[in-house]
Structure 1
Amino acid sequence: PEEGLERCNRCAPGTFLPYLGAIDLIECQRCEAGQYASEPGSDTCKLCPPGEYGPSIGMAQCLKCPSGYFQDEAGSTTRSSCKRCPKGTFSTREGANRCPFCEIGTFSNETGSVSCYSCVPGTYLDVIGMTSQEDCKQCESGLQAPSYGMSECVVCPAGTYNPLTRQSECAKCPEGTYGQKQGAREASECDQCPRWRFTSSPGSTS
């Protein structure tokens, strides 16, 4: 320190000083590549955490791997240490140390994905980490999947039926008929109204 100073100067961020009694700032040492010192006055450097890398010496902060990539080791020094998320996984944020699996109802057929695709209506997916739209399963007759990204099919409600597979909605029982059964597969499962009663509304349940 300079003569007359009441307190010592601190080494700048990106540098450190591992011993006592230094008399000049030139004694501060730069952090090596793959390390950083974010605070002034550091006595040691820290390894860049997983998800980040330090390509040069004297860094105050490490650089983050971009979205769609991950890095699972500390102390990395190059951008190439960031690896693309495998198929069936994704990463929406920078600096990820792992890539989460695509959730049920979704899939990822590319590496380096920042999001997963949803199974289309009429299909569903009840397993995580899938890698292709072909993994989405078709709803059977008597069932429907009305939305994107469904994890299971829904039974056709009373008053409707579905004779086909891969359908997003069930057909309504025609006029003059009603349906009390859930999961009907054929229009013939809709009951005829009694002669003294009539319904003009398709999809009636009574």
Structure 2
Amino acid sequence: SLLGSGSCTQPSEVPIRRNSQQERQQQQAIPCTMASARAMTLLATVLCSSLAVALCSSLALPAIVLCSSLALAASDSLIKEQPQLREMLASDDQCGGAAPSDESGGCALHALQRRGELQVTSAATGKGPCPAGQGRAILGSPCQPCPEGTWSGDTDEQCNRCAAGTWSDLRGAASASICNSCPVGSWSSQEGAPAPTACTDCPGGRWSNVTSLSSQSLCSACPTGTWSAAIGSTSLATCTSCEAGKWSPQLAAVSAAVCNSCSAGRWNAEAGSSAASSCIACAAGKWSSEASANTSKVCTACAVGKFSVAVGADIDTCIDCATGTWNSDAGASEQIACTACTAGKYSMAEAAVSEATCTNCGVGTYQPIRAAANSTLCIPCAIGNFSAGVGETSCKFCPEGTWGSDFGLTACTPCAAGTWTRGAGSSRPGMCASWIKPSAKPNVAKAGAGGLR
């Protein structure tokens, strides 16, 4: 405005000598000339600052120096033409003696000039903090608006990147608060991300219910025994449990294919199992050929007449009870479950299911052992012995007054009339004699090992 007015009012604080009209005109022109010089200096400073920003970095500093030199040259030219102007500038009478930092009243022009000089100095040196929302691409370069994904405060010289897990599409941001968090179910490792597309969904097998994740590994893994094919999941509920009868040791699984079946001979009733040990073996005496079983009902008991000591058998491992034994209970797990036929009996049947299969040895024989497996084990009574009943465990001696000379007798032959034997177990008729008299109590005893006297 000072440059455009062409004249100005004489300040009251400038003393004017009342001499000739020429002196008065000269005195009136001095303040205007001084103001014009200062205005030109300020104008040159502002123009040079704008020019410095517009020019490329390689020309910025020379342009600033050139413009500053032009402004100073213009001021010096006016000062030389007006000697009294030099005195007024030295005394700073435009500000009434106020300090250069005082920005009030008549000193406004001087303060603006000082600001322009500081801006020129900062731009020329390329040092110091930039205004909030601006920063230097490299140290020494001009301040420029912070690009998307970055920000700066009023004490920063360079722009700061938004942290990983956040983004910003705002240019010239002056605070970190403009950095937006990646939403739940996503993550980003990029610092200074300029758009929400930098946020990547948590992959299958993982989930997240928190924001601003900076790494995929921070997405929580579906636990062992579960899986999920969904991306961007925000809840553990997304993880699907392996079915009962299956198990998986894998973290962050992405499909049901990782769920391993319990092998045949085993079962598991719980979903979401994480180890093979969760599959329970069929007990001894049972077996199963079914994989992925989810109940113990698949374990088939060995039939009656059989047993099995195998645990977790995946085929029919049941063994027949041997001949001479029997078993009436299904699912037998030990051989001793097969009950032996008692002495005096035998059984030639395998996998016998009842004691009825045990057959008595016939008359004239005996059987002293258990679990006899054949009729040939029924032993004929020795001579001098007999067996009149079935299923006997031993033979009896022929009683006194009788004899038996054959094996397997069912009865003994009496001595001839008027004769007698000296005791039981006589084996031939010659042992009957007339001089032997019957004892008061005839002795009828069981035979010994051979049945002979």
Scaled to the shorter chain, the TM-score interval is 0.5 to 0.7
Written as runs of structure 1 = structure 2, the 5 A alignment for 1:5-154 is 13-15=164-166, 30-37=181-188, 39=189, 44-59=198-213, 60=215, 61-97=218-254, 98=256, 99-114=259-274, 115-140=278-303, 141-142=305-306, 144-147=308-311, 149-154=312-317
Q: 1:185/1:112 Cα in 2 relative to 1: closer, same or farther (>3 Å)?
A: same
Q: Deviations over 1:23-47 (max 9, x none)?
A: 999687643322233x556884443
For 1:95, what is the secondary structure of its paired residue? coil
Distance in 2 between residues matched to 1:78 and 1:165, nearest whole Å? 50
TM-score (norm 1): 0.61
Distance in 1 between residues matched to 2:326 and 2:174, nearest whole Å? 83
Contact 1:16–1:44 (Cα < 8 Å) also in 2: yes
Mapped pair 1:169 → 2:334: yes
TM-score (norm 2): 0.32
Distance in 1 between residues matched to 2:231 and 2:293, nearest whole Å? 29
Displacement, 1:14?
3.2
Q: How many pairs were matched up?
A: 179
Displacement, 1:168?
2.5
Partner of 1:179: none
Q: Deviations over 1:107-166 (max 9, x none)?
A: 22233333222222221221122221112111234452422x221232539979774431
Residue identity (%): 23
Q: 1:4/1:30 Cα in 2 relative to 1: closer, same or farther (>3 Å)?
A: same
- Bigger relative contact order, structure 1 or 2, given CA contacts below 8 A and separation 6+? 1
Q: Which runs of 5+ in 1 are unaligned?
A: 175-183, 196-206
| Partner residue of 1:3 out of 124, 138, 142 | 138
Question: What amino acid is aligned across from residue 244 of structure 2 in structure 1?
Answer: K
Q: 1:166/1:136 Cα in 2 relative to 1: closer, same or farther (>3 Å)?
A: same
Larger radius of gyration: 2
Q: Which runs of 5+ in 2 are unaligned?
A: 1-135, 141-159, 341-349, 359-370, 378-453
Contact 1:105–1:126 (Cα < 8 Å) also in 2: yes
Q: 1:15/1:126 Cα in 2 relative to 1: closer, same or farther (>3 Å)?
A: farther
Comparing both structures, which one devotes a greater share of its residues to helix?
A: 2
